[in-house]
Amino acid sequence: MRIKKAKFITSAPTIKECPELNLPEIALIGRSNVGKSSFINAIVNINGLAKTSNTPGKTKLINLFDIDETFIFADLPGYGYAKVSGKTQNQWQKSLEQYLLKRETLVSLIQLVDSRHPLQNNDLQMAEWIKYNNLPCFVIATKVDQISRSQIMNTCKKFEKELKLPVFPFCKSDSYYNRNILSKIEEVISK
């Protein structure tokens, strides 16, 4: 699979405001500041398509991106640390759950985790919730450029064992890892 074009469609606060696009959707989930927006920009090779920030919690809405008029990336608000009120975090959680459980065009989730750190409790809880709800998912280990090459495969294997899901390494500055990720995406959207 080779992505030729991508465009931002819309931002929506809840599933009710998400347009029906009749394309398979892949939702990106992960802790705040794990690199979901950077992943989108790198995998489609368009800098700035998805807004990135160093401040956790900037993604507050469901952001939809059309990829080659073939599938949709849905960038969801991050879970975990964010400089927002508990009420706002609860609203995000409710919106996230509704989207993940009720969006009919959703074909897979990608859970992003930070390769530089051990899995956090909320990463493990999210993986358990995904399994409990029988949602298809695979995992992207982000920021592998910030760990040694020898650690990359060991980290991915450790995460696979803990999460019981396939894990793919990813680095925004090195497209070497993109081939395997794009092959997996192609697999899930063609089912």
How many Å apart are CA 100 and CA 113, to the nearest integer? 18
For the chain, counts of helices (H) and of strands (E): 5, 7
pLDDT of residue 54: 56
How many Å apart are CA 131 and CA 16, to the nearest integer? 25
How many Å apart are CA 149 and CA 185, to the nearest integer? 24
Interval 17-29 mean pLDDT:
94
Give the CA angle between residues 92, 95, 96 to the nearest 5°: 85
- pLDDT over 90 for what percent of the chain? 67
Name the nearest CA neighbour of 82 among 139, 131, 122: 122
Q: How far apart are the first and last CA of the chain?
A: 15
Decide if pLDDT at 98 tops 70. yes
Query: What does pLDDT average to over the chain?
Result: 89
For 50-83, what is each residue's pLDDT tens digit?
887 655 455 578 999 999 999 999 999 887 655 5
Q: What pairing do the DSSP bridges indicate for beta strands 106-114 and 137-142?
A: parallel
pTM of the predicted model, to two decimals?
A: 0.91
**Contact by Cβ (8 Å): 66, 23:** yes
Q: What are phi and psi of 98, to 5 degrees?
A: -60, -45
Interval 137-151 mean pLDDT:
94
For 167-180, what is each residue's pLDDT tens digit?
999 998 888 889 99
